[in-house]
């Protein structure tokens, strides 16, 4: 291989790696921080199903119309826009909060998490939101009562108690 060929080969970078990956230490710090701020649907469901106090409260940050379509049993309905005026009446600052909105394409839970954190609450965001809660087959409430959908095989683990990760 000539120097020109070696140079061309080393500069022809796959588009995925156009920006060099972080060092392992930087990557570890990033993923550690991500886990500090995010919870997944399955972990939230398992903690709530355990029967005792899970040590956190779940907040649905969506509109009333969305809440009525379905929400996590036991969740508190607190639309993002109402957090500044209603959070202290509904939430205890000593209890961590897990926020959710519609789904991965919505940043409402992120905005709710920011608003709550700015008020002094400890907050995590539930990745996947209500969409993945329902798609994974977990029970939800509507104004008509409790419902459960058949798990979507593309999103729900084959073993409902263990996704293997």
Give tens-digit pLDDT for 50-64. Answer: 978 899 999 999 999
* DSSP β-ladder status, 97-100 and 140-142: unpaired
**Which is more confidently placed, 95 or 15?**
95
3-state helix, strand, coil in the chain (%, to 5): 40, 15, 40
In the structure, what pLDDT confidence band is assigned to residue 11 with cuts at 50, 70 and 90?
low
Looking at the chain, the whole-number percentage of residues with pLDDT higher than 90 is 75
The Cα-based distances of 102 to 117, 132, 146 in angstroms read 20, 9, 18
| pLDDT computed for residue 8 by the predictor | 46
State pLDDT tens for residues 18-69: 777 789 999 999 999 999 999 999 999 999 999 788 999 999 999 999 999 9
With a cut of 60, say whether residue 2 has pLDDT above it.
no
- Domains, the chain, ranges and CATH? 38-144 (3.40.250.10)
pTM of the entire predicted model? 0.84
């Amino acid at each position: 291989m000539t120097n020109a060929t070696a140079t061309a080969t080393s500069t022809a970078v796959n588009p995925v790696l156009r920006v060099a990956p972080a060092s392992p230490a930087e990557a570890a710090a990033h993923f550690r921080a991500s886990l500090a701020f995010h919870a997944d649907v399955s972990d939230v469901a398992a903690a709530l199903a355990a029967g005792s106090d899970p040590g956190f409260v779940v907040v649905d940050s969506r509109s009333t119309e969305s809440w009525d379509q379905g929400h996590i049993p036991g969740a508190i309905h607190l639309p993002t826009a109402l957090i500044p005026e209603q959070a202290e009446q509904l939430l205890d600052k000593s209890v961590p909060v897990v926020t959710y909105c519609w789904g991965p394409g919505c940043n409402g839970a992120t905005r709710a998490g920011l608003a709550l954190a700015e008020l002094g609450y400890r907050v995590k965001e539930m990745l996947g939101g209500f969409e993945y809660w329902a798609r994974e087959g977990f029970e939800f409430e509507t104004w008509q009562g409790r419902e459960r959908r058949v798990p979507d095989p593309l999103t729900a683990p084959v073993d409902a108690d263990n996704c293997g990760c």
